[in-house]
Every structure is written in C-alpha cells, then in structure tokens.
C-alpha cells in the first residue's frame, strides 16, 4: 500500500504551510517526515489522511487517487500527538470503535480487540478509562484503536511528542518492532532527528513547507543535499568555512601533513562522548567529538595544543 504525494500545496490565510511537496512512501516501509516545529510536516500528514484538503496537487494511496475522498473513506489509521482518546468510553470501547462503525459481529469485535490489547500490552486495562492511563498507555491504546480496522496505511502525528524522554525511547523501539511484525505502511511525523534516524527506513526532511531531501537515514546523514539537512540531522561545525561532522575530526598530539594546529579551550565529558572546544590559529572556533577511550588516550586538558584533520567528505 504505497503512498504518492504529488505537488501538494496548502495555505492557511496568508501563510504558506506546504509548498509544492512531492515524495513517495514505498509499500511496507516506515517513513519519517522530519523537520522543525511549524515546518508543515503535520499539514502534509493531515493532507495524506484527508483531514485537510490541499489547494493544489494530489494524493495517491495504493495507486488510487484519493485527493477528493474524505478521511473515512481512505482506509487509514491515524494517531494524534495528544492521543485524542474517546474520554467517555473505556479502553475496550475505544479500540472497538472502528469495528463497531463497520457493524462487525460481536464475537469478531471481541476477538480482535483482545488480540490488539494483547499486542500493545494493555491486557488488563480493557475496563479502564483513558483518564486512568498514563501517557504512554494512552498512545498504545490509540495505536491499537487505529490498527483495529486493518488500515492500508498508518499515519502518526508526533506520537511520542507529549511523553517524557525515557518513555519516548522505549515506545519508539517498540513501534519499530511492531512495524517489523505487521508491515503496515507507516508515515511518522517527528521533530526529533534521533527518533527518525533510529526508527525509519526513509526520511523526508521538510522545512518551511519545502521538501529539503528524501532518502534513507544514512543517505541523508552522509550526503546531505542542503546545509540545513546537514545541521539538522546531526552535529555539525565549521572548519575553514566548510561544514564538517565533529566526529569526523581526528585529533592528535603530533603534527602530520594536512593537519591544522588548534588549542584546546574546553573538555566536556558527556558520558560515552567527549566534546573538545578548539580554537584555531586564525581565531575561529570549532569542536570535535571523540569517543571516551580516544580522549583518555590523549589525556587532554584546556590549553593543550593539538593537531586536527578532517577525515571524510564534506558539503560546503
């Protein structure tokens, strides 16, 4: 069940939310729409879902033009950032909702709901109300609810945005596992590049309504198409006017041909990594990222002189 988005644009009043965005989502993949807040990625997702109507362009789901179809006819599953639970219904009734709309027989509804609750590990919670659940549990319920009707595609709008860091990490791994089991074409909107890199097969970077780049996480990271993608997807710093990755800077005590002299200004230990703030001869500053082992081997302290060399391809 692939998704094709062709040349869609959308304005709200005088502001342009989405400007001529085109990309495709292969069947069975997990694609992340990544970008800064307010960049238009949620709008794109909602256009795919049918919750917004684009001003121009078309949306194709499973090789069918669904641009003029309402949300309920598209066979999609949607999860909201704040879960949108049906607060007056129990967890069971929430998950059963889509099936009851379709007038499925009671036994079938019951079996499917139990199966899904087990899948999302909310087995004992069937009789509870959403207000009695934690944030993570509510989102799992929302996912079960969306999956109940066996959607062709699953659309997630910053599903972990409202959760705290630890729960977010656990749930995103769990989502990946779920996807590997169920293989539903999934589109995930997030502003967290770490989340996108960890979970997605494909990334589409969207900023200010424009698609900056789409490709696999490795492609986007190693071969960024624009400076924005470079700085957004991972740590970046400038060396001689070029953008480089701090972990691509090799730091040595001794000088070698091709290396630059720098003075260590600050050493910051960040658990596994060590960050070195460096001042170059020409007055500019940059920073390098080393593994702890390497940093310990060098035994650096502020004021030491080192020699740095960039050891990978760069983008200007």
Partner 1 sequence: MRVLALRPADADEAAEASELLLTGGTLRPASSGRRPARTRASLGSSAFKWLLRLFGICYVGLLVGVPVGSVVWRALSPGLASAVDAVTSSAGLHALWLTLEVTALAVACNTVFGLGVALILARRRFPGASVLEALIDLPLSLSPVVVGLALLLFWSSTQGWARLVVVRLGFEVLFSFPGIVLASAFISLPYVVREVLPVLVEIGTEQEQAAHTLGAGSFYTFGRITLPSIRWGLAYGVVLTAARVLGEFGAVSVVSGDVVGRTQTLTLYVNSLFQNYDYPGAYAGALLLALISLCLLGLLSLSRRRRAVT
Q: Which residues bind partner 1 (CB under 8 A)?
A: 49-51, 70-72, 76-78, 80, 82, 84-88, 97-98, 101-102, 142, 145-146, 148-149
Other CB atoms within 10 Å distance of the CB of residue 301: 9
Closest separation in Å from C-beta 72 to partner 1: 5
d(CA 100, CA 97): 5
Considering the complex, state which of residue 23 and residue 80 has its C-beta at the smaller distance from partner 1.
Answer: 80
Is 35 within 8 Å of 60 (Cβ atoms)? Answer: no
Other CB atoms within 10 Å distance of the CB of residue 66: 21
Token look-up 């700085």 returns: 231
Considering the complex, state which of residue 78 and residue 287 has its C-beta at the smaller distance from partner 1.
Answer: 78
Considering the complex, state which of residue 147 and residue 249 has its C-beta at the smaller distance from partner 1.
Answer: 147
Closest separation in Å from C-beta 160 to partner 1: 17
Closest separation in Å from C-beta 159 to partner 1: 13
CA distances to 18, 117, 253 from 298, in Å:
49, 53, 7
Token look-up 């997605």 returns: 200
Q: Is 208 left (phi over 0), alpha (psi -120 to 50) or beta?
A: left
Considering the complex, state which of residue 80 and residue 160 has its C-beta at the smaller distance from partner 1.
Answer: 80
Considering the complex, state which of residue 141 and residue 308 has its C-beta at the smaller distance from partner 1.
Answer: 141
Other CB atoms within 10 Å distance of the CB of residue 245: 21
d(CA 97, CA 221): 41
Is 200 within 8 Å of 191 (Cβ atoms)? Answer: no
Closest separation in Å from C-beta 146 to partner 1: 8
Closest separation in Å from C-beta 74 to partner 1: 8
Considering the complex, state which of residue 95 and residue 220 has its C-beta at the smaller distance from partner 1.
Answer: 95
Closest separation in Å from C-beta 51 to partner 1: 6
């Amino acid at each position: 069940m692939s998704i094709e988005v062709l040349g869609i644009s959308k304005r709200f009043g005088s502001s342009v939310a989405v400007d001529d965005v085109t990309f495709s989502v292969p069947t069975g993949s997990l694609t992340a729409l990544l970008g800064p807040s307010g960049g238009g990625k949620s709008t794109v997702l909602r256009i795919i879902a049918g919750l917004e109507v684009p001003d121009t362009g078309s949306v194709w789901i499973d090789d069918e033009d669904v641009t003029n179809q309402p949300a309920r006819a598209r066979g999609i599953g949607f999860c909201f950032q704040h879960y949108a639970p049906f607060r007056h219904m129990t967890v069971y009734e929430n998950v059963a909702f889509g099936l009851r709309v379709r007038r499925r027989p009671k036994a079938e509804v019951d079996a499917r709901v139990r199966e899904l609750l087990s899948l999302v590990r909310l087995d004992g919670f069937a009789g509870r109300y959403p207000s009695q659940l934690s944030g993570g549990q509510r989102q799992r319920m929302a996912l079960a609810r969306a999956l109940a009707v066996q959607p062709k595609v699953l659309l997630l709008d910053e599903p972990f945005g409202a959760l705290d860091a630890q729960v977010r990490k656990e749930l995103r791994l769990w989502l990946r596992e779920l996807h590997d089991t169920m293989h539903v074409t999934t589109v995930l909107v997030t502003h967290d590049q770490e989340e996108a890199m960890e979970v997605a097969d494909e990334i589409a970077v969207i900023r200010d309504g424009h698609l900056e780049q789409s490709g696999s996480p490795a492609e986007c990271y190693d071969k960024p198409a624009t400076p924005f993608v470079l700085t957004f997807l991972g740590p970046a710093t400038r060396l001689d006017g070029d953008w480089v990755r701090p972990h691509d800077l090799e730091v040595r005590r001794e000088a070698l041909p091709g290396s630059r002299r720098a003075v260590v200004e600050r050493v910051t230990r960040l658990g596994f990594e060590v960050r070195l703030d460096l001042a170059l001869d020409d007055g500019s500053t940059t920073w390098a990222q080393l593994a702890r082992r390497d940093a310990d081997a060098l035994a650096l302290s502020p004021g030491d002189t080192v020699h740095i060399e960039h050891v990978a391809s760069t983008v200007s």
